[in-house]
Amino acid sequence: MNVLVEKNNFPLLLKRGIAYAIDLAIFGSSLFIYRLAAGVFYSDPATYSQGHLMGISAVLMIFFLFSYIPVKTQGQTIGKAVVGIKATNVDQSPMGYFKTFVREFGFKVTFIVFFLPFTVVYQLLSIVRTKTFVFQGAHDLLLQTKVEEK
């Protein structure tokens, strides 16, 4: 089977992987700091309310990183901005806060567990059917989005 590869597809795939790793590192380290601070506050009954505030702050941080920033930067998370790519709707219309949050946080946090195997199967079936390799993640397929160079 001779599979055609779309021009510049692998560099974009590599950039997506690097952007995902950067975003995951920022999310993981931020959540660790919030969790550590909340644990300190929860260890003393007199400071429980500060622990609750740390939890609320963590939720706001997640919204800021995975919804507010991408909407305000036309589809770029911090990781995507570093590598020079952006996410857009297939029809080039701007993504709203909810769709951006679902794509950048909801799907990517569950990506390893569910969507990576689904994406691999989808890509293999697509290669067999079309004889070309054009990467589109499962979350992109479901939300009708794509990633492109900035």
* pLDDT of amino acid 143: 87
Number of domains the chain contains: 1
Q: How far apart are the first and last CA of the chain?
A: 33
The pLDDT averaged over each successive group of 10 residues in the chain (150 residues) is: 50 87 92 91 91 92 94 94 94 92 82 70 77 73 86
Closest among 51, 38, 103 to 76, alpha carbons compared: 103
* pLDDT of amino acid 112: 63
Pairing of strands 132-133, 4-5: parallel
d(CA 140, CA 18): 17
* pLDDT of amino acid 82: 96
* pLDDT of amino acid 9: 62
* pLDDT of amino acid 101: 92
For the chain, percent helix, then strand, then coil, each to nearest 5? 70, 10, 20
Q: What are the C-alpha distances in Å from 62 to residues 33, 38, 50, 77, 125?
A: 13, 16, 18, 12, 34
d(CA 43, CA 113): 32
- For residue 51, give its domain range: 4-149
